[in-house]
Structure 1
Amino acid sequence: MTARLGAPLFRRAMLVLAMSAVLMLLLGQYTDIDLLIEDYYYDEQLQAFPWLDSWFATDLMHGYVKNVIIKSGYLLLLVVAWDFIRPWSRITSFTRSRLRFVAAASLLVPTIVRGVKQFSVLHCPWTVDRYGGTEPFLRLLDHVPEGMKVGHCFPAGHATVGLWLAALCVFWLPHNPRVAVGVFSAGLSVGLVLGWVQQMRGAHFLFHTLWAAWLASLVILVMLLFAYNILNEEKAT
């Protein structure tokens, strides 16, 4: 019998998302984890984030690695678009549907996360007064002081460069959900690593990145729900 994506899998995924959202809200609002991490990377004597212009953080991670992933996404979109116009006979229906799924995720995940940023007032560490900036540090549920400039720094947009890679899990669905979970986690990890480097540079707080990963997970899960029938088709040989 062919393995199928079913309601139990989606229910478990939604439960995990709901629980993680509550946990992040509580930890982000009632702990100083964000500040502790940025305090560690901020040099009081220099009044700066030493990693900001470093070769590793700026040239390698924020430059080379980021560009490789972005160009890989563009290449994927090009392949999918070309196959849509002139279908390649060597690509099975199984592979085609999943390539299209990942291509859609590469567009939707960054677009939605960056769209949410437009409604956010939270600032990046390097503009917060604690780290030499001029704006107050606010948590997600804090009251916004009257007259405060909006920061548009939440959630972390840079992390989405890698977060969409979590959609590659679709190649192991529905026939091997355990591997799919591993691939999904690995994809999220790429985005989380990119996000952590931004924390080292003073560009984001930890929970900015974690909420970006949460949103990416939600987007991909909703996509899976909409693609339910297609993904449950027989695996092509």
Structure 2
Amino acid sequence: MSRRRDLGWLAAALLLLIGWDLAGADLAVVRWFGSPTGFAWRASWWTSGLMHEGGRWLAWAVLLTLVAGIWRPLPAFAGLAQRERVGWVLVTLAAVLLVPLLKRVSLTSCPWDLAEFGGMAQYVSHWRWGVGDGGPGRCFPSGHAAGAFAFLSGFFVLRPHGSVPARRWLAGVVLVGTLFGAAQLVRGAHYPSHTLWTAWFCWAVCLAGQALWQLHRPDLPR
């Protein structure tokens, strides 16, 4: 039942994202923060320093804590079997690595590269595969948001042990990922959909990881 519900959320989110792209909402939202001279918040302390650089260090700290927790878990995770803690780390790493791989083949440039914001690129939807926009590309999806949404893996690991801790973890990850995405949006580093697609890809990776885990543990709820 849980798997069907999870897949249902994934499918519903896909439809919403497709609708967002078809509506051309990305450029409309970015224009709220950009001007012909660029993005005023691009290099501010709270967006560039706290949310971007600080957020990167936070993601690394959480990941290293999970890795160390394979052998010496935090008290809150002591009830997890070691194989569960290993799976948590592996799925998180898979989500973290997927986004940069997608970015490497993306021809989509960042909003701050657009000509109307002082750059040289022209807006082209990231779904027009093979069509360049005249800029450097490699901006879709959001790698920074993956530093939060990759940890959606914890929801699936914690859920069999209780819905309350799993939901709290989920809420925390969504909150941090939203803050990361908002900071990158006002900086001109990413469109809203870049963050949303990152969350979608990470959720899909977590579902795939859960399915593989259940193949080896048929006793777990589905």
Do both proteins adopt the same fold according to a TM-score greater than 0.5, normalized to the shorter chain?
A: yes
Structure 1, gaps ≥5 residues long = 1-7
**Alpha-carbon offset, residue 232 of structure 1:** 4.4
Whole-angstrom CA distance in 1 between matches of 2:138 and 2:13:
23
Whole-angstrom CA distance in 1 between matches of 2:96 and 2:20:
25
Specify which of 100, 104, 129 is matched with residue 86 of structure 2: 100
Instruction: Summarize the Cα distance change of 1:204–1:93 in structure 2 as closer, same or farther, 3 Å threshold.
Output: same
**Alpha-carbon offset, residue 29 of structure 1:** 2.2
Q: Is the 8 A contact 2:95 2:202 kept in 1?
A: yes
Could you tell me which amino acid in structure 2 is paired with residue 213 of structure 1? A
Alignment-derived partner of residue 3 in structure 1: none
Could you tell me which amino acid in structure 2 is paired with residue 17 of structure 1? L
Instruction: Give CA-to-partner distance per residue, 1:33-90, whole Å, 9 cap, x none.
Output: 212221111144xx0211111111111111223212212212322443xx3xxx89x9
Alignment-derived partner of residue 41 in structure 1: 33
Whole-angstrom CA distance in 2 between matches of 1:176 and 1:76:
19
| Most deviating of 167-176 and 49-58 | 167-176
Identical positions, percent? 23
Alignment-derived partner of residue 51 in structure 1: 41
SS at match of 1:40: coil
Q: Is the 8 A contact 1:17 1:214 kept in 2?
A: yes
Map 1:197-236; keep pairs closer than 5 Å. 197-228=183-214, 229-230=216-217, 232=219
- The structure that has the greater radius of gyration is 1
Normalised to the residue count of structure 1, the TM-score between the two structures is 0.80
Instruction: Summarize the Cα distance change of 1:61–1:125 in structure 2 as closer, same or farther, 3 Å threshold.
Output: same
Normalised to the residue count of structure 2, the TM-score between the two structures is 0.85
Alignment-derived partner of residue 3 in structure 2: 10
Map 1:124-203; keep pairs closer than 5 Å. 124-142=110-128, 145=131, 148-149=134-135, 151-177=137-163, 180-203=166-189
**Alpha-carbon offset, residue 94 of structure 1:** 2.9
Instruction: Summarize the Cα distance change of 1:183–1:34 in structure 2 as closer, same or farther, 3 Å threshold.
Output: same
The reply on whether 1:25 has 2:34 as its aligned counterpart is: no
**Alpha-carbon offset, residue 212 of structure 1:** 0.4
**Alpha-carbon offset, residue 130 of structure 1:** 2.1
Whole-angstrom CA distance in 2 between matches of 1:117 and 1:180:
30
Instruction: Summarize the Cα distance change of 1:204–1:176 in structure 2 as closer, same or farther, 3 Å threshold.
Output: same
Q: Is the 8 A contact 1:29 1:140 kept in 2?
A: no
Whole-angstrom CA distance in 1 between matches of 2:79 and 2:20:
44
Q: Is the 8 A contact 1:120 1:150 kept in 2?
A: no
The reply on whether 1:63 has 2:56 as its aligned counterpart is: no
